[in-house]
Structure 1
Amino acid sequence: MVKQIVEAAENGKIRCDACPVMCFIADGRSGACDRYANEGGELIRVDPLTIIEGTVSAGGKIVPFMPDHPEDEWNGDLVNARKPFITAVGAGTTYPDYKPAPFIVSQKQRGVDMVTVVTEGIFSYCGAKVKIDTDRFLGPEAAAVRVDGEPVGHVMTGEYGSQMLSLGGVHHLTGGSKKEGRVTCDALLRLCNSEAVEMVIDGGASIIVQAGKAPVINGAEEHRMRVGCGSATIGMFAKQWKDMVDEVVVVDDHITGVLSEHQAGKLLNIPPTGIKIKGRRSTPGRYFQVAEPGTGWGGTNIDDPLIILGDFDPKTAYPGLRMLMVSTTGEQYGYYILDDQLKPELQTLLPAPVQESVEIIAENCEPALATVLFMGGAGGSLRAGVTTNPVRLTRSVKQALTHVSCGGAPAYVWPGGGITVMADVTEMPSNSFGYVPTPALVAPIEFTMRLADYEALGGHMEAIIPIEQAIELAERKIAPVAQGSWPTSERNFKWGA
């Protein structure tokens, strides 16, 4: 447990200065955030300071991930994967902002003096970007996403095979009612700590999202991410279908594909079938808007695919014509033969080759997952814990002199002004996130650089401690969360002179 300096005491209670709430905490009790407590008159950080060791588990034992080779020349990896790495998880905050970061740790790597500055930032400007692998309609773009009836975000533009949500942000955290802020903060905290959160989208679906797990949509667990759009599916599997059927329709909310009209079919000399598709024709064999978005076939609102067909052209079609209709995941399919009136009749059994082709579509679909990316802006107060001249830290990050991570996970830094970062929460240690009742999230962030660069940007040189001292304080030492993810793998970073 990490001890903090106490600024004030009143009526036997001590005052916590880790955030703007400034709780007075009685002995044996914790503050409103449940992360700081009074233990015998001393303020302690309840969650343990966490070290990531360059090890992997083997047969239940922690063994060295890779031996150190001091004779090798340093390759420029800002955080040596073979050495312990101190994360900001459990470190504490910089509030009230004039203080240096809780831990500024020095470590020699391949003969080069390095510094890692760690702090748990209080992020009012933060949220989560959520990717949900599904073709099913979740809700219209910009529709509100609600938890316990409160708006916590909105639906974003869809991506290839996925639906996207933007959750949190300062306007939901502090710009609405107290309940909206409280619910938003709680939902973000649970999502970022990889817990399940149930949400309802205005005009759309009810969903359960958990990072790294399959999404649950309207009570049904999603299993597959589509292999491609209807047109792409035609292109991928046209050769397999050439001799086993006369026509294939791949139903898709985006682009429905028709084999005989598609360029792939033309090049394979597949003759016209006289088929007619209800929808907006794009290019040959590709149709938009064959149905409304929904949770049925291929992300449409239909359960019977024949609804999207018009009458077959009697000048071209013929009795006995074989047609496969299939969705972009292979979950829905039907095999039809035209009768004497040129009406498709559903066959109860698929020929073995046709069944195999449907199974190949399914095989090429990746497992459906929900991905949660924490996104936050590192503001002036957090940067002041790193340097006396905060803008220099921003410049150092943009010049790639300083590497940014969140709980040891690689962080993507957005271009443009400020330090706006995104990190995959599944690559971070468990329970990396906390909160303060402002409301705001508390999230770990680390800055790693050469000692000389740290001094040049006006760093708090007097607060530097050696890695050995930090390791002694750490109560939680873990192996890398994801095999092969940073900091367990070598990553080279370039910087200017």
Structure 2
Amino acid sequence: MTDAPEKIRCDACPVMCYIAPGQTGACDRYANAGGRIVRTDPVVMLTHALDVGHRIVPFALRDWDGDPIPSGPMPADTTVTGIGSGTTYPDYKPAPFIVSSRVDGADMVTVVTEAIFSYCGLKVKIDTDRFLGPEGAVVRAEGEPVGHVTTAEYGSQMLSLGGVHHLTGGSKAEGRVTCAAMLALCNGDAVTLVIDGGSTVTVQAGHPPIVDGRPERRMRVGCGSATIGMFASQWLGLVDEVVVVDDHITGVVSEHQAGRVLGWQPTGIKIKGHRSTPGRYFRVSEPGLGWGGTKLTDPLEILGDWNPKKGARPGLTLLMVSTTGEEYAYYALDDALIPQPRPLPDRLKATVGLIDENCEPSLCTVLFMGGAGGSLRAGVTKNPVRLTRSVQSGITRLTSGGAECYIWPGGGITFMVDVTRLPKGAFGYVPTPALVAPLEFTLPREDYLAMGGHDEVVRSLDDIMANGGEYPTAARLEPWRSDGI
């Protein structure tokens, strides 16, 4: 009887899986190859494409043939990203790759790592006027709470997903589902979210949102008041009154300052709502999935009785339109001063079309947000607070998978990055649960030494390409199983 092959322990994350030969760990990112822990994904190289506006593009983004580096000549500006590099865990050791380079005659160092984030979340911008749910409402995936609705901004609804309390502060199911939903969104996949007291929304970075089964097409051109201001001059002489229906600010051209300046005549119209300033009305309806983000399916519901003493008369014409131009209706007052529907005249079709033309496509934007603090910094320098200060002062440039990051002011290294700017599949996970995101810290070598950097392990790109890192990439080995251990 022969002994079973010995499992070995992977220390690349806090789970510390025991992995049998030919198997991967629970994350599918590390495997046991003949008694040695290896990465299953190659390190991703990036280069700058000067012919496309200096946009960073993947250099090694291709079907992988087992070779951990790209074939052919390496462009001079090639850099190593954190994608596929491995982590600093258990954090006493330097980052997986600390690369020397020369940029415009200056000696530079780039510290490359994949960071494990329990303290991370997503900020999701959904371009829509539709009511998604009340502010503060719980957002769920697969029935588990994964975030909440936050403030509504100009033509967009905002969600906050993830965070340490959902990842590790709730049930195991909540943490697992939160991690899976965040990973999918970060890697460009679609996720369906259900909002308590609101809508079901399918979100995918860079794609239109789908709200209650309806794909959104256009982001509004502006609020009702702004729409009046933009297009009042084009309606002058073609129609007697225009109302732009909007959940936030409904505009009325004859009362609006734009109409007054143009010499628009009073019409005796009455709007049911909270008058703000002339021609601007709040709360004409509850928010919903109808006209301009209201509950309205019939816009006439917001009109009161017309006043003949202030200009109302039989035959007076009225255009009612939403802030995207998707909904519109045309009326004429009868002898009783009641609006009667009429076909939209050709003379007004171009103006409604112009609203639509000026509306940008509705998209979902997903920003990954994390705090690159704690022991992660020890992989960069022996004195971690100096890295924080260097990033905050702009000496050290932080990128994520080659993409520019926004650094929040205040303490720590809190950053945000647009996930569509990273190569596909840049994010990973560990089943603690936590996300794994690539990071690169680039700074002058002189400053790196001054902050107490790990100068003894700085290597050239050629050396890294030839010899790999602490966990080499699995090359031309047996296919990996992905069913865990």
Q: Normalized against structure 2, the TM-score is what?
A: 0.90
Give CA deviations for 1:182-208 in whole Å, capped at 9, x if unaligned: 000000000000100000000000000
Q: Contact 1:57–1:63 (CA<8 Å) still a contact in 2?
A: no
TM-aligned CA distance change 1:63 to 1:26, over 3 Å: closer
Aligned 8 A contact 2:44 2:58 in 1: no
Q: Report the CA distance between 1:471 and its aligned residue.
A: 4.0
User: Could you give the per-residue CA deviations for residues 238-286 of structure 1, whole angstroms, max 9, x where no partner exists?
Assistant: 0000110000000000000000000000001111100000000000000
Aligned counterpart, 1:492: none
1:374 is paired with a residue of what secondary structure?
A: strand
Are the equivalent residues in 2 in contact too, given 1:56–1:63 (CA < 8 A)?
no
State whether residues 298 and 327 of structure 1, in contact with CA within 8 Å, keep that contact through their aligned partners in structure 2: yes
Instruction: Determine if the alignment matches structure 1 residue 317 to structure 2 residue 328.
Output: no
1:153-195 Cα offsets, whole Å, 9 max, x none, are 0001011000000000000000000000000000000000010
User: Which residue matches 1:417?
Assistant: 411
- Deviation for aligned residue 1:111: 1.6
Work out whether residues 55 and 64 of structure 1, in 8 Å CA contact, stay in contact via their aligned partners in 2. no
Residues 1:212 and 2:212 are matched in the alignment = no
- Classify the secondary structure of the residue corresponding to 1:53: strand
Q: Equivalent of 1:261, from 238, 250, 255?
A: 255
8 Å Cα contact 2:136/2:148 also seen in 1: yes
Aligned-residue offset at 1:63: 12
Is residue 346 from structure 1 mapped to residue 318 from structure 2 by the alignment? Answer: no
**In the TM superposition, what is the alpha-carbon distance from 1:55 to its structure 2 partner?**
3.2
Mean Cα displacement is larger for which, 146-155 or 312-321?
312-321
- CA, structure 1 residues 440+63, in 2 after alignment: closer, same or farther (shift >3 Å)? closer
The equivalent residue for 2:386 is 392
1:328 aligns with 2:320: no
Percent sequence identity is: 67
**Residues 1:253 and 1:458: Cα distance change in structure 2 (over 3 Å):** same
Name the SS of the counterpart of 2:113 in structure 1. strand
User: Alpha-carbon deviation of 1:353?
Assistant: 2.0
Residue 84 of structure 2 is matched in structure 1 by 90
> Of the candidates 349, 352, 362, which is equivalent to residue 358 of structure 1?
352
- In 1, Cα distance between equivalents of 2:434 and 2:325: 43
1:337 and 2:332 matched: yes
Q: How much has 1:326 moved relative to structure 2?
A: 0.2
TM alignment of 1:68-467, pairs within 5 A? 83-315=77-309, 316-347=311-342, 349-467=343-461
Q: Tell me, yes or no, if the aligned pair for 1:245 and 1:322 is still in contact at 8 Å.
A: yes
| Partner Cα distance (2:257, 2:462) in 1 | 65
Q: How many residues align?
A: 448
Measure, in 1, the Cα distance between the counterparts of 2:448 and 2:362: 43
1:52-82 C-alpha deviation (Å, 9 max, x unpaired): 0223799xxx9999xxxxxxxxxxxxxxx97
Classify the secondary structure of the residue corresponding to 2:152: coil
Q: Which residue of 2 is the match for residue 74 of structure 1?
A: none
CA distance in 2, matches of 1:380, 1:177: 25
Distance in 2 of aligned mates of 1:333 and 1:274: 21
Aligned residues of 2:47 and 2:57 also touching (Cα < 8 A): no
Q: Show CA shifts across 1:6-52 (max 9, x none).
A: xxxx9611111011110000111100011111112221111110010
Q: Match of 2:318, as an amino acid?
A: M
Q: Distance in 1 between matches of 2:164 and 2:76?
A: 38
Tell me the secondary structure at the aligned position of residue 336 of structure 2: coil
- In 2, distance between residues paired with 1:194 and 1:102? 26
Do the aligned partners of 2:202 and 2:211 also contact (CA within 8 Å) in 1? yes
Q: Is contact 1:51–1:471 with CA below 8 Å preserved after alignment?
A: no
- Matches of 2:104 and 2:271 in 1, distance apart? 66
Q: Secondary structure at the match of 2:220?
A: coil
- Whole-Å separation in 2 of the counterparts to 1:305 and 1:64: 50
* Corresponding residue number in structure 1 for 2:71: none
Residue 463 of structure 1: CA displacement? 1.0
The residue identity in structure 2 corresponding to 1:184 is T
Worse-matched range after superposition: 48-57 or 413-422: 48-57
Q: By how many angstroms is 1:332 displaced?
A: 0.2
Q: For the residues of structure 1 that align with 2:463 and 2:338, how far apart are their CA atoms? A: 79
Secondary structure in 2 aligned to 1:375? strand
Deviation at 1:351, TM superposition (A): 1.3
Which SS does the other structure have where 1:83 is aligned?
Answer: coil
SS of the equivalent of 1:47 reads coil
Distance 1:196 1:110 in 2: 41
Q: Which runs of 5+ in 2 are unaligned?
A: 60-74, 474-485
Q: Which residue in 2 is equivalent to 1:31?
A: 25
Query: What is the SS of the residue equivalent to 1:394?
Result: helix
